Amino acid sequence: MCQIKSAIVLKNSIYMPLDENSHEVMIKDLKLKDVDGQIDFVRVEMIPIDGNYFNHNLKNWKLKVDQNQTPEWFDPKSTEIEMRKEIKIWFKKRFILNGMEIEEIKDGLWYIIGGTIGNVSGGIIEDVSGGTIGNVSGGIIEDVSGGTIGNVSGGIIEDVREGTIGNVSGGIIEDVREGTIGNVRGGTIKNVWEGTIGNVREGTIGNVRGGTIKNVRGGTIKNVWEGTIKNVREGTIENVSGGIIEDVSGGTIGNVSGGIIEDVSGGTIGNVWEGTIKNVWEGIIEDVRGGTIGNVRGGTIKNVWEGTIGNVREGIIEDVRGGVIIYPNDKKIVVADPNYKLELFKK
């Protein structure tokens, strides 16, 4: 597998493009023939000894030959000396370090540990581990492990492990594992593992397996497995099989097969298969086929097939075909199934 930083060594020169690390692409660019028994080039890599390609001490970089056979003219020692000269140029042209300022990245393959970038409109940023990016309107950012990104209106961010993203109004963020995303007004966030997302107004968040999402006022959140979603006022949440959803006063939650939903004061919850819903003040819950609904003080529950509804003090329950409903004010328990045998216990 090709590693940073790759090159092709010819008899009288070295080919090390700034924005490419695939030997096979380089061989194709140079129109070389890769034939057994006819070796007229060498695949090499300069790799950091400590694994940190932001460590630019040249003594930290060593040559690695990435093929089994080499031609007679190949000299590893002299090649390593020449490759150190080449990577110095690469450091200067493709790394953004503390104190550096760049107005815009339009193309190329970049590495960022500090400094300030006004706008990313194209190219690929391999690693953001520090610094500040004002706006991302295009291109690809492969790995965010630190730093701050102000506004994402386009492009693709592949893996957020730490750091802060301010406002998402477009583009795609694929994997959020840690860090903080401030305001989501559009675009798509796929696969939330951990971290915090605040203020969702539009856009789509898919596959929530952990972390916290706060203040949902629009957009769509799909497939909640774990984690916490707080303050749902509008928007749609689909397929809840785990985790916690707190404070629902609007919007729609569909297909609940697990997890906990607390404090429902509005909105609609449809298709409850399992899980727990606590403290219903207002709103509509439809098609209850299992699970537990506790403390009903208002709102409407329709189409109860199975499950348990406890502590009903106010509100409307319609079309009960099964399950158990407890009315503490009336000291009454409704068992809507003729197959149940009811036994009363007295102290």
pLDDT in tens, 293-341: 888 888 888 888 888 888 888 888 888 777 778 887 777 777 766 565 5
pLDDT for 338 equals 58
pLDDT for 274 equals 87
- Cα–Cα distance measured from residue 8 to residue 79, given in angstroms and rounded to the nearest whole number: 11
pLDDT for 297 equals 86
Question: If you average pLDDT over residues 75-80, what whole number do you get?
Answer: 95
Question: If you average pLDDT over residues 145-168, what whole number do you get?
Answer: 90
Percent of the chain with pLDDT over 70: 96
The answer to whether the Cα torsion of 123, 128, 131, 133 is positive or negative is positive
> For residue 157, what are its two tokens?
């961010």
- Cα–Cα distance measured from residue 186 to residue 202, given in angstroms and rounded to the nearest whole number: 5
pLDDT in tens, 214-237: 888 889 998 889 899 988 888 999
Domain boundaries, the chain: 6-94, 97-231, 259-347
Question: If you average pLDDT over residues 231-246, what whole number do you get?
Answer: 90
The pTM of the full predicted model, rounded to 2 decimals, is 0.79
Write the CB contacts of 95 (distance below 8 Å, at least 6 apart in sequence): 54, 56, 110, 111, 112, 113
Q: pLDDT at residue 288 above 90?
A: no
> For residue 163, what are its two tokens?
């750091």
- Cα–Cα distance measured from residue 261 to residue 267, given in angstroms and rounded to the nearest whole number: 13
In the block, which residue shows the tokens 């460590």? Answer: 55
Q: pLDDT at residue 1 above 60?
A: no
pLDDT in tens, 82-104: 999 999 999 999 999 988 999 99
